[in-house]
Amino acid sequence: MTLRGAEPVRRAVVLGAGIVGVLAALALQRRGFDVTMIDRDEPGRGCSYGNGGAISPDFCVPIALPGMLRRVPKWLFDREGPLVVRWRDLPASLPWLIRWIRAGRMDRVEAHARALRALHAPSYGRYRDILGPRAAGLIEMTGQLYVWRSAAAGPTEALARRLRERHGVETHALAGDEIRQMDGALATGFTRGLFFPENGHTLNPLRLVQTLARQIEEGGGRVLRGEASDIVLENGRAVGVRCSGTTLAGDIVVVAAGIASTAFARALGDRVPLQAERGYHVMLPEPGIRPRIKISNRDHMFGLTPMEHGVRIAGTVEIARPDAPMDERRPRAMLEVAKRMYPGLSDRGAAFWMGCRPSTPDSLPVIDRAARARNVIYAFGHGHTGLTGAPVTGELVAALATGERPHIDPAPFRRDRFG
Ligand SMILES: Cc1cc2nc3c(=O)[nH]c(=O)nc-3n(C[C@H](O)[C@H](O)[C@H](O)COP(=O)(O)OP(=O)(O)OC[C@H]3O[C@@H](n4cnc5c(N)ncnc54)[C@H](O)[C@@H]3O)c2cc1C
State pLDDT tens for residues 84-108.
888 888 889 999 998 998 898 888 9
Q: Which atom of ligand 1 is nearest to the CA of 353?
A: 1
- Whether residue 11 contacts residue 241, with contact meaning beta carbons closer than 8 Å, is answered with no
Q: 48 alpha carbon to ligand 1 midpoint, in Å?
A: 4
Residue 7 pLDDT more than 70? no
**Sign (positive/negative) of CA torsion 306, 292, 346, 324?**
positive
382 lines ligand 1 (CB under 6 A): yes
> What is the residue with the minimal CA distance to atom 19 of ligand 1?
386
Interval 60-79 mean pLDDT: 77
**Sign (positive/negative) of CA torsion 262, 92, 47, 419?**
negative
For a mutational test of ligand 1's pocket, the pick from 22, 26, 36, 48, i.e. the residue with the most ligand atoms closer than 8 A to its C-beta, is 48
What pLDDT score does 6 carry?
55
pTM confidence score: 0.96
Percent of the chain's residues with pLDDT above 70: 97
* Nearest by Cα to 362 from 376, 342, 380, 381: 381
Interval 168-191 mean pLDDT: 94
**Strand (E) or helix (H) holding 366:** strand 366-369
21 lines ligand 1 (CB under 6 A): yes
What pLDDT score does 417 carry?
95
* Nearest by Cα to 80 from 330, 280, 278, 312: 330
- Whether residue 360 contacts residue 274, with contact meaning beta carbons closer than 8 Å, is answered with yes
331 lines ligand 1 (CB under 6 A): no
Lowest pLDDT segment from 86-95, 118-127, 293-302, 403-412: 86-95
List the beta bridge partners of residue 234: 237
388 lines ligand 1 (CB under 6 A): yes
What does the CA dihedral 405, 212, 270, 261 come to, rounded to 10 degrees?
Answer: 170
Residue 353 pLDDT more than 80? yes
330-348 tens-digit pLDDT: 999 999 999 999 999 999 9
Q: What is the mean pLDDT of the chain?
A: 94
Q: 19 alpha carbon to ligand 1 midpoint, in Å?
A: 7
Interval 378-388 mean pLDDT: 98
Interval 189-213 mean pLDDT: 97
State how far the Cα of 221 lies from the Cα of 219, in Å rounded to an integer.
6
- Full set of structural domains in the chain with CATH: 2-48+207-271+363-418 (3.50.50.60), 63-107+131-202+274-359 (3.30.9.10)
Q: 258 alpha carbon to ligand 1 midpoint, in Å?
A: 5
Beta-strand ranges (E) seen in 213-365 are 222-225, 228-234, 237-243, 246-249, 252-255, 275-284, 294-297, 302-307, 310-319, 351-359
